[in-house]
Chains A and B, each alone.
Chain A
Amino acid sequence: MKRLGIVSLLGLLVAHGAFAQQPGETVPSVIVAPVGKVQVRAGSSATVDLDFRIGSEFHVNSNKPKSELLIPTTLRLDAADPIKIVAVNYPAGEDMSFPFAPTEKLSVYSGDFTITTVIKASTKATNGTYPVSGELHFQACDRSACYPPKSIPVKFEVTVWNH
């Protein structure tokens, strides 16, 4: 009886999963890896690496695409006092040609890429954990089509200590 219930429950889950998906919705995915513990002393700065993964078959423009018409990948981060975003450093893009423009090189990110940010806690910061949030804006293409620009949320927490 118990076994029957478990099998049936699995059946339900499989059936629900299969039919909840929309057919033909293969859209590019960009995901951000969870950010580990970020700790910074009051008055100091820290580097935070944000790791992103682009779904296979897709690429996004780098932060410095070769044409002003192309939409660059950008990261916007907001932090409230006592945290400040000091710098956002993008990796260099990879120059690649695609079947749709074999003679043209585009500056793109594909696979995994990391954006390095530098944060700073003010000297008057009190002990505590402070949120930083924002979004990565990108526009993806595959080998024959492009997809509308999209943004995904990015967030992490910064723990400040002040002795």
Chain B
Amino acid sequence: MKRNALVFAALLIAIVAMIATGKYITRFRHQGAASLVGDVRGVPAPDFELASLDGRKVKLSDYRGKAVLLNFWATWCSPCKVEMPWFVDLQKKYGNDGLVVLGVAMDDSDTPKIAQFASEMGVNYPVLLGTDKVSEQYGNVQFLPTTFYIDREGRIIGKGTGLLGRGEIEENVQKALASRVAGVHKADATGTAPSPAQAQTAAQ
């Protein structure tokens, strides 16, 4: 009887250890390869430097003071095509209020093909060439489209995976725009972000 209890206790300890190990491995994987998993609201958006279609280097931090809609997409992603005209409209509608849409193309395709696609879609915002690194930084982007909404202080305020409704997207944009940079008035909240003209150039 006593022996049974000891064996049972040993097995119980083994089970607990296994559970703890599993949880540790899960957390380690998430922290190492992909820090942005689960609820990402309030998390500082990881900075990155990516090439734009015209060869410029663009950093997310260039847009501090702006609300950023960061959209991961690909030319082979049909649902992504649905959202793009909405982003074009939102950029027009809220550009003067401080919205910057950034498209991150996760294609393996060559740049001219992506540029042609963006041009055909009438994209009026910068399109950047995605990398595995930026995908990892943003939680290993598995689904396309995936969109992050980043406030003027560089914090993520929302994330959408898969095709969302336009209303939901616009609501997130408005939330991002509603944020204010501490100590900076709306009129000054432009940071060092490129002008809309520069952004337009980047998309061409």
Q: Chain A residues in contact with chain B, CB under 8 A? A: 1, 4-5, 8, 11-12, 15-16, 18-20, 22-25, 27, 69-71, 98-101, 104, 106, 139, 141-142, 144-149
A146 vs B38: C-alpha distance when bound (angstroms) = 19
B interface majority secondary structure:
helix
Residues B11 and A27 in contact, CB atoms below 8 Å apart? no
Size of B's binding interface in residues, CB under 8 A: 35
Besides the contacts A4-B8, A147-B143, A148-B144, what 14 more A-B pairs have beta carbons closer than 8 Å?
A4-B7, A15-B22, A69-B117, A71-B76, A104-B78, A141-B77, A141-B78, A144-B162, A145-B145, A146-B76, A146-B80, A147-B142, A148-B142, A149-B108
Contact of B18 among A15, A141, A142 (CB under 8 A): A15
B106 within 8 A of partner (CB): yes
Residues B4 and A1 in contact, CB atoms below 8 Å apart? yes
- In whole Å, how far is A55's beta carbon from the nearest beta carbon of chain B? 14
Residues B82 and A100 in contact, CB atoms below 8 Å apart? yes
- In whole Å, how far is A138's beta carbon from the nearest beta carbon of chain B? 11
B75 surroundings in chain A (CB, below 8 A): 69
A19 surroundings in chain B (CB, below 8 A): 18-19, 21-23, 26
- In whole Å, how far is A118's beta carbon from the nearest beta carbon of chain B? 30
Residues B11 and A144 in contact, CB atoms below 8 Å apart? no
Residues B142 and A27 in contact, CB atoms below 8 Å apart? yes
A12 vs B17: C-alpha distance when bound (angstroms) = 10
Known: A12-B18, A19-B22, A100-B163. A146 touches B7 (CB 8 A): no
B79 within 8 A of partner (CB): yes
B142 surroundings in chain A (CB, below 8 A): 25, 27, 147-148
Provide 7 A-B residue pairs closer than 8 Å at the C-beta atoms, listed in order of the A residue. A8-B7, A19-B23, A71-B76, A98-B78, A100-B163, A101-B82, A145-B162
B161 within 8 A of partner (CB): yes
Known: A101-B81, A146-B74, A146-B76. A16 touches B18 (CB 8 A): yes
- In whole Å, how far is A64's beta carbon from the nearest beta carbon of chain B? 15
Known: A15-B15, A145-B162, A147-B142. A20 touches B76 (CB 8 A): no
Residues B76 and A70 in contact, CB atoms below 8 Å apart? yes
Scoring A20, A98, A100, A101 by chain B CB atoms within 10 A of each residue's CB, the highest score goes to A100
Residues A145 and B144 in contact, CB atoms below 8 Å apart? yes
A18 vs B108: C-alpha distance when bound (angstroms) = 35
Residues A147 and B144 in contact, CB atoms below 8 Å apart? yes
A142 vs B79: C-alpha distance when bound (angstroms) = 10
- In whole Å, how far is B197's beta carbon from the nearest beta carbon of chain A? 29
Residues A12 and B14 in contact, CB atoms below 8 Å apart? yes
Residues A4 and B4 in contact, CB atoms below 8 Å apart? yes
Enumerate the 5 nearest inter-chain pairs by beta-carbon distance, A residue then B residue, closest first.
Answer: A19-B22, A144-B162, A145-B162, A100-B79, A8-B11
A99 vs B78: C-alpha distance when bound (angstroms) = 11
B37 within 8 A of partner (CB): yes
A24 surroundings in chain B (CB, below 8 A): 37-38
Residues A8 and B163 in contact, CB atoms below 8 Å apart? no
B29 within 8 A of partner (CB): yes
B74 surroundings in chain A (CB, below 8 A): 146, 148
B19 surroundings in chain A (CB, below 8 A): 15, 19
A70 surroundings in chain B (CB, below 8 A): 76, 78
